[in-house]
Amino acid sequence: MRVAVGSDHGGFKLKTEIIAYLEEHKIDYRDFGTYSEESVDYPDFARVVAEAVARGEYQRGILCCGTGIGVCIAANKIPGIRAALCHDTFSARMAGEHNMANIITLGERVIGPGLARDIVGAWLGATFAGGRHARRLDKIAALEREYCRC
């Protein structure tokens, strides 16, 4: 599994922590930036990570900003992306089992590094349950086809 990782300045330190987690667990990743706490615009980083996941170059993506909200909204604009804002481990597991979220987003100003690590682990370790959940994902994809003007 390859994981694309990105953040804005507000999520930079949390991204660094998540990268340490990925390295400790020998999970292949690429850091798409930002690379400092200098102010940047979160849609730019959500875009490159989400595009890389949507193209299939990376199976998963992790995005951080101050709240996790901005990068979630932006990533979900990319067709094929199911980004989930996760600030607890139950939601992270469900994002994998029920929603097959291919990106999770986290807020550095909301949770600490220990919980963020547990969230990433819960999500990466979850297996999609299929069945009725697959039918619902099909309906989300149909919505996307209906409303996407690209």
Residue numbers of the site for ligand RB5 (CB under 6 A)? 8, 10-11, 42, 65-67, 69-70
Concerning whether 72 is annotated as a catalytic residue, the answer is no
DSSP letter assigned to residue 68: S
CA 95 distance to own-chain centroid: 10
CA neighbor of 111 nearest in space, from 82, 86, 83, 91: 86
Q: Which of 9, 64, 65, 72 is catalytic?
A: 65
Nearest distance from C-beta of residue 67 to ligand RB5, angstroms: 4
Can you tell me which residue has the tokens 């667990």?
25
Concerning whether 133 is annotated as a catalytic residue, the answer is no
Nearest distance from C-beta of residue 49 to ligand RB5, angstroms: 14
Q: Which residue is nearest to ligand RB5 (CB)?
A: 70
Query: Which residues, other chains included, contact 39 with Cβ-Cβ below 8 Å and sequence gap of 6+?
Result: 9
Cβ closest to ligand RB5, residue 8 vs residue 51 = 8
Cβ closest to ligand RB5, residue 51 vs residue 108 = 108
Nearest distance from C-beta of residue 33 to ligand RB5, angstroms: 14
User: Could you tell me the two tokens for 76?
Assistant: 């979900």
Cβ closest to ligand RB5, residue 10 vs residue 96 = 10
* Residue type for position 111: I
- Helix, strand or coil, per DSSP, at residue 46: helix
Q: Which of 98, 133, 148, 150 is catalytic?
A: 98
Which backbone phi and psi does 105 adopt, to 5 degrees? -125, 145
Cβ closest to ligand RB5, residue 65 vs residue 95 = 65
Nearest distance from C-beta of residue 103 to ligand RB5, angstroms: 15
Q: Residues 105, 92: contact at Cβ < 8 Å?
A: no
- Please list the active-site residues: 65, 98
